[in-house]
Amino acid sequence: MIGLARRILDSMFLQLKDKLTHEVLVTFMAEVAAIINARPLVPVTTDPDESFILTPAVLKVNFVAAPAGEFGVADLYKCQWRQVQHLSNTFWDR
């Protein structure tokens, strides 16, 4: 999976003309990790009563607390978030 993700990221970054900020890159890599960790490890059953799917994310228990403090509208970085979502969708499609 590392090799596959690296090939996809290499091709995406070669085609990307805009510079990525550190925050965008870190957020995008977190999205990539979430996509990779959401893939099933075993074949998915067609039984409707069995809804549990074993993924790497299920095996790793990681609780991250939300950052402390109050955040306003200026802290949302809407443009950067949209850029990360576009990159994540492109990664998912590839």
41 and 54 in contact (C-beta within 8 Å)?
yes
What H or E segment, with its residue span, contains residue 93? helix 78-93
Q: Would you say residue 63 has pLDDT above 70?
A: no
24 and 83 in contact (C-beta within 8 Å)?
yes
In the prediction, which pLDDT does 72 show? 59
pLDDT digits (tens, 9 = 90+) for 21-55: 888 888 888 888 888 888 888 788 788 787 777 77
Whether the model pTM is above 0.75: no
